Amino acid sequence: MSDHNLFAQQSANRRKSAWLIAGFLVFFAWIGFGGDYGLFLYTRELPPEAYHHVVPFIGIAACAVATAMAWTAWNKGDQKVLGASGAWELITPATPEQQRLDNVVEEMAIAAGIPKPRIWIVPDQDPNAFATGRDPVHASIAVTEGLLALLSREELQAVVAHEMSHIRNLDIRLMTLLAAMVGAVGLISHFMLRSLRGVRLRKAGAPVALVVLLVWVLTLIVAPIASAILSMAVSRKREYLADATGAQLNRNPLALAQALEKVDAAPEATRSIIRGAGHLCIVDPGERRLADRAGFLGGLFESHPPVRLRVARLHGMGYGTVKGDRVTGDR
């Protein structure tokens, strides 16, 4: 990737991160003040002795919560993701596999021209890896124990180069914010919908108030689904780019193709990695049944492109061919 394209990608990710935070705050403002407005319209025609919603406390509370969540996602989103996965930081390698990982991360950091990220180990036997953080200075790379045991040095180097590309392109900032905010949207929507249980609307309310409240409730239902689909779409696009730039960093696209095939062939899901952070991983940490299909459902509900399509592109980069179950090509 040329410097011009790299800087353009970084600039685009900075803009998208800013828009994401702005959209997150607007969503919470609508959830808060929209609910206040609907209740105000609904209660203003009720008898004097009935409750009249005047003070917009829902909006004030929602905006305060949104601001706190946005700040936390920006400053501590990576630690939340790592903590939720049960990862522990590798400080002093204690095994040959850990030493190999430490060496590979240092090599790829030098190749990418960025500071060496912190290294984390996820106690899970399913092979997977992800990068997180808000910029290259505050970046982390996490790999599962299963990945260390499964891959050769060349394949591990290719996976780390892929994750290093996410760091260098500032994908980690955008995707870490997505991971935190998708969870926040789902949480607030679930809380508000539970709060509405048992509430009955009287027919005395103004029709416009009922319409506003109906739109408000529909927003609570649709928002978690829409935000999850958005995070998946963003992740799919960036996986192709990280595959290509990672292959350029380690000069071995076929090693990444082999690593992806090995990781995708694992029978179990990566259960240590929370579903909301699945788009951070090199392959979908779920069962990956839909991801193997390139159709509408696979494209809509999965956080990663089908591995076979990613492998095909990498073979094209390496001028490789697939013969039987063996991968051959120029190295």
pLDDT 10s digits, 195-222? 666 555 555 455 766 777 777 778 778 7
Distance separating alpha carbons of residues 193 and 132, to the nearest angstrom:
31
Question: In 144-161, which positions are buried (b, 16+ CB within 10 angstroms) versus exposed (e)?
Answer: bbbbbebbeebbbbbbbb
H helices of 113-206, in order, are 145-150, 153-168, 171-196
For residue 282, count other CB atoms closer than 10 A to its CB.
Answer: 30
Task: Tell me which of 97, 107, 145, 163 is the catalytic residue.
Answer: 163
- Give pLDDT, residue 50: 81
Whether residue 324 is predicted with pLDDT greater than 70 in this model: the reply is no
163 is catalytic: yes
- Average pLDDT over all residues of the chain: 79
Give the span between the Cα atoms of 12 and 23, in whole angstroms. 16
Name which residue leads in pLDDT, 61 or 199.
61
pLDDT, tens digit (0-9, with 9 covering 90-100), for 275-288: 556 778 888 787 55
The model's pTM: 0.72
Model pLDDT, residue 331: 37
Q: Cα(162)–Cα(159) distance, rounded to whole angstroms?
A: 5
Lowest-confidence pick of 188-202, 211-225, 259-273: 188-202
Least confident interval from 95-109, 264-278, 282-296:
282-296
Multiple choice CATH, 88-172+233-328, 3.30.2010.10, 1.20.58.1610, 3.90.180.10, 3.40.50.300? 3.30.2010.10
Asked whether the beta carbons of 294 and 307 are under 8 A apart, the reply is no
| Nearest Cα residue to 298 out of 244, 247, 233 | 233
Q: Where in the chain is the domain with CATH 3.30.2010.10?
A: 88-172+233-328
Which range, of 131-140, 172-181, 228-237, averages the lowest pLDDT? 228-237
When pLDDT is cut at 50, 70 and 90, the band that residue 53 belongs to is: confident
In the chain, % of residues over pLDDT 70: 78
Contact yes or no for 52/44 (Cβ under 8 A): yes
